Structure 1
Amino acid sequence: MELNNVKLAILDIDGVVIKGRTPIPEAVEGIKILKEKGINVVYLTNNSTRPRKRLAELLGDIGVDISISDIFTSSYLTALYLDREADKDVRIFIVGEEGIVFELEEFGFKNLFWSNYEPPIDYVIVGMDRNFNFQKLTYAQQAIFSGARFIATNIDPTFPTENGIIPGGGSIVKAVETASKKQPVVIGKPEIVGLKLILTQFDIRDPEEVILIGDRIETDLIAGKRLGCKTGIVFSGITSKEELEDLEVSWKPDLCGENLLDLLGGDDYEDRI
C-alpha cells in the first residue's frame, strides 16, 4: 500500500514505540521515515498512567523528535471530556495513577480523591492502577451506587512491558463494572473521541488521509475501522500473526509487520500473511 496520500500517522505507544521504558529500536527508525515522507506523526495511547510531559521526555530520550502537543493519552482525553461536560468543582474519585490526577489538575479540577475517599462523589474515573485493591473497588462501587457517573480511561485487558504481559486498565474497569452493575463511558480506543479531536486539530476531513498503527486488534484496529482510516498492526506488542489470520476480511488491517520499520517496508497485508 502506498502512503503518498497520507498526511497524518497516529501511532500507539506501548507495544509500538516502547515496551515499559524500553524503546523498540525499529520504531524510532520507522518514525524518522514517516517524517521524511512529510507525514505528521502523533501518538494516541490508552495508557493513563503517565502525564503527557513525562511521555514526551521518555520518547525524546530515545531519539524521537516530539512535543507535548503531539501526545494524546487516555487520561488527557478524559480530562478534556470532563472539561466540556462538568463544572470544575465536581468531586472525582480516581482509581488510577498520577497520569489521571495530573491531567485533571491541569484542566483546573480541584476536588480529586485519589488516596482517600470522601463522599459524596460525582464522578468515578477508572484506569490502570498498579496499587488497586479491594478497598478501592468498594469505594468505587459505593460511589456509583450513590449516583456517581462511571468513566473508564480505557478497556485494555492487558498491558505489554519489557518483562512480559501484565493485567491492563481494562481488567480493573471490568472489576468495577461487575461490582457496580454499571457500564462506563469509555474515553480511549476503540472509541473514536480522541481520533476525531486529532483530525480536527490537523484540519483533516477525509479519514483516508490518516493511518492508525497499533498493536491491538480490539482497540487500535477496531478504532481505525470505525473512523474509516487506513490501519496497520505490528507484532512487537500484543497481537500475533495467528490472531490476524482468524479475522474476517473486512476487519483485516491494511498493513502489518514485525515492527513499525518492517510494516513500512513491507507489502500489503495479504502479501505478508
Structure 2
Amino acid sequence: MKAKGYLFDLDGTMYNGTEPVQEAVDFVNRLQAEGVPYLFVTNNASMTAEAVAEKLRGMGVHSDAGHVLTSAMATGRYIAELDPGANVYAIGEHGLIDALEQQGLQVVADEHADYVVIGLDRQITYEKLAIGALAIRAGARFISTNGDIAIPTERGFLPGNGALTSVLRVTTEKEPFYIGKPEPVMVNIAAEMIGLAKEDVIMVGDNYHTDILFGINGGIRTMHVNSGVHTPVFIQGQDVQPTYMVDSLAEWIL
C-alpha cells in the first residue's frame, strides 16, 4: 500500500551537515508538486520551525514553518493539552522558549514551576541546572525534549540533550518523560498535522535508534535510507526491521 503522506528526519536523511542529500531534496520537491503532504520531524529543540524551514530552503527544499515539527513544539503541545497555562521552568534555547510560549504556557525564571523542561542548551550553566533540580525536587514534573546523548557537528560528536538531561536525572533521582524520537508522542501529533491516519504515513530516516524505532513505537510504517548513520548490514542485524529499506529516495516510486 502506497503512502498518502511522509515524515522525514533531517540530518542524515535530507542533508549531511551542510551538504544536501540531492535524492531526498528532489523527492520532497516532487511530493510538493504532486500535492502529497509531508512533514520534517526533528529532535532539534533549539531551532524554531521557521529557522528549520529556512535552512531547508537554502538547500533547495520546498518548505515553510508548517512543514516542520520539532521536539520543542511537541513538548509545548503535550504540556498545554495536559495543563493549559502551566508554569514551566525551561532550560534550552530560543526554539524551546518560543514553542512553549506559542502554546500559552508561562515560562518562569525560578523553581516555582509546575514543569521542568530541558532541551539542548549550549549556554548551560550550573545555576540553570540547580534551579531545575530544586523545582523537580519540589514536585515539578520533569520532561526532556529528547534523549539524544550526542549530536553530530563539523567538530565531531558533541554532548546532546540526553547528556544534559542525565545531570538532572542523576541529581534528583527522578526519571524524565521524553517527548522526541524514538518515543511515540510525536507520531500522533505529526499525523494530525498532515491530516492523515497513521496507516497512511511512512517515516523516512537514516538512524535506526531514533527514526526507525520512532515509527515502530508509534505504529507507522518506516523506510530506512542508506545516506546517514546506519548501514544496511547494521539494519539487517536488528530484531525488528524497517518496513522498507532503500539506498536513496530516487528508488522509491510514488
**Fold equivalence (TM over 0.5):** yes
Report the equivalent of 1:214.
Answer: 205
Aligned residue identity for 2:241: K
Alignment check: 8 A CA contact 1:19 1:160 kept: no
1:155-234 correspondence to structure 2 within 5 Å: 155-205=147-197, 207-234=198-225
Aligned partners of 2:15, 2:176: CA distance in 1, in Å?
A: 28
Any conservation in 2 of the 1:6–1:39 contact (CA below 8 Å)? Answer: no
Q: What pairs with 1:59-208 in structure 2 (closer than 5 Å)?
A: 59-88=56-85, 90-113=86-109, 118-205=110-197, 207-208=198-199
Partner of residue 230, structure 2:
239
Which residue identity lines up with residue 167 of structure 1 in the other structure? Answer: P
How much has 1:257 moved relative to structure 2? Answer: 4.1
Q: Give the residue type in structure 2 aligned to 1:99.
A: G
For residues 223 and 49 of structure 1, do their structure 2 counterparts lie closer, same or farther at Cα, with a shift above 3 Å needed?
same
| 8 Å Cα contact 2:32/2:62 also seen in 1 | no
Quote the Cα distance in structure 1 between the aligned partners of 2:49 and 2:20.
Answer: 17
- The question of 1:6 aligning with 2:3 is answered yes
Q: For 1:253, what is the secondary structure of its paired residue? A: coil
- Between the aligned partners of 2:72 and 2:186, the Cα distance in structure 1 is 11
* Cα deviations by residue, 1:99-147 (Å, 9 ceiling, x for unpaired): 101112222334333xxxx232221101112223433333222211111
Tell me the distance in 1 between the aligned counterparts of 2:14 and 2:176: 29
**Which residue is equivalent to 1:255?**
244
CA distance in 1, matches of 2:179, 2:32: 28
- Cα distance, 1:48 vs. partner? 0.4
Equivalent residues of 1:7, 1:38 under 8 A apart? no
Separation in 2, partners of 1:19, 1:165: 13
SS state at 2:147 partner: coil
Q: Secondary structure at the match of 2:89?
A: strand
Going from structure 1 to structure 2, the CA distance change for 1:240 and 1:25 (only over 3 Å counts) comes to: same
Q: State the 1:38 CA deviation.
A: 5.0
Taking the aligned partners of 1:59 and 1:229, their CA distance within structure 2 comes to: 25
In 2, the alpha carbon distance for the partners of 1:20 and 1:180 equals 35
What is the distance in 2 between the residues matched to 1:55 and 1:204? 23
Aligned pairs, number: 253
Q: 1:157 to 1:111 in 2, by over 3 A?
A: closer
- 2:7 alignment partner, SS class: strand
Which letter does structure 1 place at the counterpart of 2:172?
Answer: S
Let me know the Cα RMSD of the aligned residues.
Answer: 2.3
CA distance, structure 1, for counterparts of residue 153 and residue 226 of structure 2: 14
Distance (whole Å) between structure 2 residues aligned to residue 156 and residue 232 of structure 1:
21
Does 32-41 or 99-108 show the bigger shift? Answer: 32-41
Per the TM alignment, residue 266 of structure 1 is displaced from its structure 2 partner at its CA by 6.7
Residue in structure 2 matched with residue 270 of structure 1 by the alignment: none
Q: 1:124 to 1:21 in 2, by over 3 A?
A: farther
Describe the SS at the equivalent of 1:111.
strand
Q: TM-score, normalised by structure 1?
A: 0.83
In the alignment, residue 133 of structure 2 is paired with which amino acid?
A: Q
- For residue 253 of structure 1, what is the amino acid of its counterpart? P
* Shift of residue 13, structure 1, vs aligned partner: 1.4
1:32 is aligned to 2:29: yes
TM-score with structure 2 setting the length:
0.88
Matched residue type, 2:174: K
